[in-house]
Amino acid sequence: MRKNIRTEMGTIDWDRITRALEVKHQRRWVPKRQPAKGKTYYNRNEVDAVLNSYQDKLYVFVVSNNRTDKRIWDIISIRLVRLAQRGNISAEQEVIKLIRYTVDEWLDQSSHLSRWKGYDDEIQKHIEGCIYRYRYTGSFFNYVYRTLEYAARGIRPFYLYSLDEPLMNETNKRWIEAVIKDPESGDIGLCRETFSISCF
């Protein structure tokens, strides 16, 4: 079996093997201990070998219609994740780029995950963390989703306001007229004297 179940790089495809196990056995799977993060390198050929194997399935990162599509999403992602874990920076960049299509869709569809809007750098850090923490824990798709879902609990969402809107319904003043800069700290904020609250 180990001679036939191989990745595009010629290594044993342990992910394919563990996916065939029952969930209770997947959790007991202990992979060969990876050495501490070694040297990084760029190798686009390794990435292309994975993508070319699934060339007609890459649409799953933009739109996943069913469970089969999500399974393919996982397979491609995990292949790239394994390359990134071996130090291939090209694979890391590619998996982040592809996963962001799906993450952006989640932000639009989930009111809870929509809190991430405006936190692009933080999203990228969490995806990078998922790439290097992921072992044999089932769906990578679900792992990324749950990571962002749990981390979103501590996020204060951005609220968008136009500074051209009226400051209050009873006045002709606009919000832009209440914006001031603190001369001591250099902070920019709203002066709320209109509401009988001191500035800053």
Q: What is the pLDDT of residues 61-72, one digit of tens each?
A: 887 778 888 888
142: which residues sit within 8 A by CB, 6+ positions away?
none
More confident residue, 139 or 5: 139
Average pLDDT, the chain: 76
Q: What is the pLDDT of residues 44-92, one digit of tens each?
A: 998 998 898 888 888 888 877 788 888 888 888 888 998 898 899 999 9
DSSP state of 150: H
Find the farthest-apart pair of alpha carbons in the chain and give their distance in angstroms, rounded: 78
pTM of the shown model: 0.64
Residue 180's H or E segment, with its range, is strand 179-181
